[in-house]
């Protein structure tokens, strides 16, 4: 669906630690260090977390959420725990989201730079 998604950071090492941990819980174990950040490539597209190319400081995009696909609710739980353990903050505990299509199981975090991210899996009770 996409070639890549780029999230800004003001602290490369902090974002690299956070995203390496949360992406591993979803099966994405390759983290490619870049001079200005980190890339997480996959066959479906890549996530790049790096300093903005225009040289200006990163600021959070109001209303933007990046969603990741998880295999199951256990992976969502592990993703959320890894994010909290690596500098993220909770933006929504893991659980069934009654307003999501198919009442999926999901969780939300803010990364160390304030970007809002989430992960969803099929409803384990469906």
* Burial degree of 35 (CB within 10 A; 0-12, 13-18, 19+): exposed
Instruction: Write out pLDDT tens, residues 17-35.
Output: 999 999 999 999 999 999 9
In the predicted model, what is the mean pLDDT of residues 99-105? 90
The domains of the chain are located at: 4-51+64-121
Of the chain, the percentage scoring pLDDT greater than 90 comes to: 83
Instruction: Write out pLDDT tens, residues 4-13.
Output: 999 999 999 9
At the topology level of CATH, where does 4-51+64-121 sit? 2,3-Dihydroxybiphenyl 1,2-Dioxygenase; domain 1 (3.10.180)
Q: What does DSSP assign to residue 57?
A: P
Task: List Cβ<8 Å contacts ≥24 apart for 99-106.
Answer: 102/126, 105/72, 105/73, 105/76, 106/76
């Amino acid at each position: 669906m996409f070639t890549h998604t780029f999230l800004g950071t003001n602290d490369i090492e902090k974002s690299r630690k956070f995203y390496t941990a949360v992406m591993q819980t979803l099966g994405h174990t390759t983290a490619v260090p870049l001079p200005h950040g980190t890339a997480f490539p996959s066959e479906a597209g890549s996530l790049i977390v790096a300093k903005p190319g225009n040289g200006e400081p990163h600021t959070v995009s109001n209303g933007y959420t990046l969603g990741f696909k998880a295999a199951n609710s256990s992976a969502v739980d592990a993703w959320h725990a890894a994010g909290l353990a690596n500098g993220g903050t909770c933006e929504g505990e893991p659980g069934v989201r009654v307003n999501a299509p198919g009442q999926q199981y999901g969780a939300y975090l803010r990364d160390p730079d304030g970007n809002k991210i989430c992960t969803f899996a099929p409803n384990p009770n469906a």
